[in-house]
Structure 1
Amino acid sequence: MLLLYRLLFPVALLAALPFYLPRMLRRGGYARHFGQRLGLVPNLPARPAEARRVWIHAVSVGELQALGPLLELLRQEHPSTQIVMTTTTSTGYALAESKYGQQLAHLGYFPVDFWPISRRVWNRLQPDLCLLMEGEIWPEHLHQARLRGVPTVLINARVSERSFRRWQTLPRPLREPFAMLSLVVAASEEDGRRFACLGIATDRIVTSGNLKLDIAPDPILDSMELERLRADLGLKAWGERTDGEDAPRPLVLAGASTWPGEEKMLLRVARKLSDHGLPCKLLLIPRHAERRGELRDLLTREAVDAHFRSTGPAERPVAVAVADTTGEMVRLLQAADVVFVGKSMDPHKGGQNPIEAAALGKPVLFGPNMQNFRAVVDSLLAAKAGQVVRDETELFDAAKALLRDQAERRAMGQAARSWHQAGKGAARRTVDAISRFLEPRR
């Protein structure tokens, strides 16, 4: 299987370039340290005899943020451990640099999973343990670990319904990468069962829960900071009452991590809400900030008065605020009254992470296509902390009911906070699971 992978990987990489290269150019930031992707990383200084070096790879901003509590426990309980961290995206790199930079022995981009490149990076970093986040199964990377006798652990391990079906259709020899994992620390019992079905021995699977539930929302804004944020977004009151008092704050419906088509749907829903007497404004937080041009065109065609956060503070109230920045989800969602989670309506599949909104105590709505967060969604629904809306009509009905009923919003928000609090502990269980690989050198 590995030989076939090595032969086909360069072909697949070249075939994918026309798709990925424009995306990289739109997002920007990829020129910096680009050579690291090709194996041009420095030799690290020799570590102390008793130290262990751990290579952690995480792709997305969400995955990197989820590592915070885990890294804190590692520092407390294994203080001599050196952390090497890699990521894939420029936004992920920027977050890791600002959040963890001072704690790391090395921060870089994950190398292209091609034999000579991967081997070069492994020879230079020389880790004693490799941790991969969620679904990062890279055959050459795992093979280089096995050659050196380095344990590899998939943490917060998830496999979506779609990926599970795809892996199941492959002959067993093509599932060899799973056999190279030393341990799988699954994000849910269902994920653990799926990994077992894919050929991983049950004694190499433990369940931790989802690491993202251990993240404490930060920053939490006080009332003055929140009012300033709403003003900066253009989401403050429409005007003043004739008696001179400030007008009531308009309600805010937020679309979190939205994908193409969902913004237009939310615009229609917001208009219908206004038509039904609800003073509703819309906060759009697109999954990819580089779509700002596309959203600007949409809002211009729809004749909507809008403000884009990347341009600075709003000069006046607007109907729609577009948060075309990165790394601000927790801050921005505090301005919302009801949150719709994106990538969950047809034709999109998989869904985005609903945990941040729930942790903030926001009523959470999501479409039927939340396959990538099935365990999270099921537990949210069981706790009455979230609601499925199957189409635009159901989204409108649910948003209208919640925005009209402050008591119901508060009850659903409190249920979400309680759900988040009850789900903590994944970082503790993950560190317990990997501690046997972190014993000091003898």
Structure 2
Amino acid sequence: MRLLYDLGIGLYTLLLRVVSLFHPKAKLWIDGRKGGVAEIEQTIEKGHRYIWFHFASLGEFEQGRSVLEQIKKSFPQEKIIITFFSPSGFEIRKNTNLAEYVFYLPVDTKHNARRFIEAIQPKFAVFTKYEYWYHYFNELKKQDIRLLMISAIFREQQLFFKPYGGFYRDILKKVAFFFTQNMDSVHMLKWIGITNAGLAGDTRFDRVVELPKVHQENPIVSAFLNGQYAVVAGSTWQRDEELLQQLIIKAEKWRLILAPHEIHDAHIAEIKKLFPKSILYSQFSAYRLEEVREARVLVIDNIGMLSSLYHYADVAYIGGGFGAGIHNTLEAVAYGKPVIFGPKYEKFQEAVDLVTLMIGFSISNDAELQEVFVALQDVEKRCEIGTAALDYVKQRAGATQIIMKYLETEGLLTKSL
């Protein structure tokens, strides 16, 4: 099985090299790793033992951010290295002040794992939610370096729990401790003989609960809305945008703030076709007052401001539910907003919770979206949902404190003298 794993990693890398010839994101993935481990060895300052955080992408970074911030605040002497698998994480957070260095994770080979870990000499490693790399996990175990999984979550359908999943179960056994999002995950790990796990919750709650406290007014958004009701749609894809087009046509008294997942020129052009009288955030000052008043759609053609936009929402729409899975719902819920999303949400514990509590609403087509939206136009109903949403977020905060207590109790973090 190890041979098949290595072959799969090699084929995946080869495929991306081919795709990178005509796909910008794949090109970033390949170009970001051109220097390999040698570039990392030459870049980092020697003589330190770094804390290593790895994130698959931007969403996982936001999930682990509260732990990063708490370490930086309480243990400022510690030095941190962050790695990303995906360009969407690295390109946006490569200059974060929460780490001394940010790198792409070198491809998971035995050679790369050994050299990378020897180069950074981590005090311990933290992976968020998922990504289980055999050679990195194996090398950490061999060098007796503790590996922690935070906000971990498991489902019965995963390979770990299949009769033929022995190789993948062995990867899990390299982990020192799992901080899980729910008790089901603790029980599932126990079922396959892994008992070093405990419920901590999802660290994203610790992050999002602070968002309303630090919100700052955005004069462009305020000018666009001009006191009208707003749907804020975040991380949308084409199918989401097609549904929202029909929604905004019928909802004459509402305006739409659209923050697409992809903001490259081709996608923005497609959005402009769907919403001919839309205006771009980056060009707002160039529009005449009459154009702003006539426009009902503001397209956010930049990255990084979505979480603050939910403050302006009366209803939030979260994209991705017609593809691989919905994006972050909690940023909107933290502002006390009802959320709507597509049908592919069951892999996300918080989305399941939101549907159960009737804070979130899953839709599969235009008719269902219209039905939910009509119900949410009732101000009293939105207020009830808002109260329940805020309670939901506040009650589930605290995972970061549990993780930090473990790190201090186990001697992985100590106050400097």
Q: Given the two structures, how large is their TM-score scaled by the length of structure 1?
A: 0.82
Residue in structure 2 matched with residue 416 of structure 1 by the alignment: 389
Say whether 1:272 aligns with 2:282. no
Query: CA 1:205–1:8 in 2, change beyond 3 Å: closer, same or farther?
Result: same
Find the partner of 1:211 among 181, 203, 207. Answer: 203
Q: CA deviation at 1:161?
A: 6.2
Residue in structure 2 matched with residue 352 of structure 1 by the alignment: 327
State how many pairs are aligned: 405
Give SS of 1:156's match.
Answer: strand
Q: Deviations over 1:55-87 (max 9, x none)?
A: 111132232233332123324554543322212
Residue in structure 2 matched with residue 263 of structure 1 by the alignment: 241
Q: CA deviation at 1:11?
A: 2.6
Q: How does 1:193-208 map to 2 (within 5 A)?
A: 193-197=187-191, 199-202=192-195, 204-208=196-200
Residue in structure 1 matched with residue 369 of structure 2 by the alignment: 395
User: Hey, what's the Cα distance between the residues in 2 that align with 1:440 and 1:16?
Assistant: 42
User: Hey, what's the Cα distance between the residues in 1 that align with 2:206 and 2:4?
Assistant: 40
User: Hey, what's the Cα distance between the residues in 2 that align with 1:144 and 1:296?
Assistant: 47
- Mean alpha-carbon deviation: is it higher for 73-82 or for 148-157? 73-82
User: Hey, what's the Cα distance between the residues in 2 that align with 1:158 and 1:256?
Assistant: 24
User: Hey, what's the Cα distance between the residues in 2 that align with 1:218 and 1:67?
Assistant: 19
Percentage identity across aligned positions? Answer: 21
Query: CA 1:228–1:378 in 2, change beyond 3 Å: closer, same or farther?
Result: same
User: Hey, what's the Cα distance between the residues in 1 that align with 2:347 and 2:13?
Assistant: 25
Q: Given the two structures, how large is their TM-score scaled by the length of structure 2?
A: 0.86
Check the 8 A contact 1:39/1:117 in 2, yes or no: no
Residue in structure 2 matched with residue 304 of structure 1 by the alignment: 276
Q: Deviations over 1:236-287 (max 9, x none)?
A: 34xxxxxxxxxxx32222222112211011101211222xxxx122222222
Structure 2 unaligned regions, length at least 5: none
User: Hey, what's the Cα distance between the residues in 2 that align with 1:158 and 1:21?
Assistant: 35
Say whether 1:9 aligns with 2:21. no
User: Hey, what's the Cα distance between the residues in 1 that align with 2:301 and 2:58?
Assistant: 15
Residue in structure 1 matched with residue 314 of structure 2 by the alignment: 337
Give SS of 1:289's match.
Answer: coil
User: Hey, what's the Cα distance between the residues in 2 that align with 1:86 and 1:78?
Assistant: 20
Q: Deviations over 1:204-229 (max 9, x none)?
A: 1111101100011167445xx34532
Q: CA deviation at 1:364?
A: 1.2
Query: CA 1:340–1:8 in 2, change beyond 3 Å: closer, same or farther?
Result: closer
Query: CA 1:303–1:439 in 2, change beyond 3 Å: closer, same or farther?
Result: closer
Check the 8 A contact 2:334/2:393 in 1, yes or no: yes
- Mean alpha-carbon deviation: is it higher for 152-161 or for 253-262? 152-161
Find the partner of 1:150 among 145, 152, 165. Answer: 145
Query: CA 1:40–1:303 in 2, change beyond 3 Å: closer, same or farther?
Result: closer
User: Hey, what's the Cα distance between the residues in 2 that align with 1:161 and 1:326?
Assistant: 35
- Mean alpha-carbon deviation: is it higher for 311-320 or for 133-142? 311-320
Q: How does 1:238-253 map to 2 (within 5 A)?
A: 249-253=227-231
Query: CA 1:55–1:26 in 2, change beyond 3 Å: closer, same or farther?
Result: closer
Q: CA deviation at 1:369?
A: 1.6
RMSD, aligned CA: 2.9
Check the 8 A contact 1:227/1:236 in 2, yes or no: no
2:173 is aligned with what amino acid? A
Residue in structure 2 matched with residue 245 of structure 1 by the alignment: none
User: Hey, what's the Cα distance between the residues in 1 that align with 2:59 and 2:281?
Assistant: 21
User: Hey, what's the Cα distance between the residues in 2 that align with 1:385 and 1:328?
Assistant: 23
User: Hey, what's the Cα distance between the residues in 2 that align with 1:200 and 1:309?
Assistant: 53
Say whether 1:185 aligns with 2:163. no
User: Hey, what's the Cα distance between the residues in 2 that align with 1:116 and 1:254?
Assistant: 46
User: Hey, what's the Cα distance between the residues in 1 that align with 2:387 and 2:20?
Assistant: 41
Check the 8 A contact 1:385/1:419 in 2, yes or no: no
Q: How does 1:38-53 map to 2 (within 5 A)?
A: 38-41=37-40, 42=42, 43-47=44-48, 53=50
Check the 8 A contact 1:251/1:337 in 2, yes or no: yes
Q: CA deviation at 1:389?
A: 3.0
Say whether 1:54 aligns with 2:51. yes
Structure 1 unaligned regions, length at least 5: 238-248
- Mean alpha-carbon deviation: is it higher for 249-258 or for 313-322? 313-322
Residue in structure 2 matched with residue 326 of structure 1 by the alignment: 303
Q: How does 1:95-174 map to 2 (within 5 A)?
A: 95-99=92-96, 101=97, 103-159=98-154, 164=158, 168=162, 170-174=164-168
Query: CA 1:200–1:324 in 2, change beyond 3 Å: closer, same or farther?
Result: farther
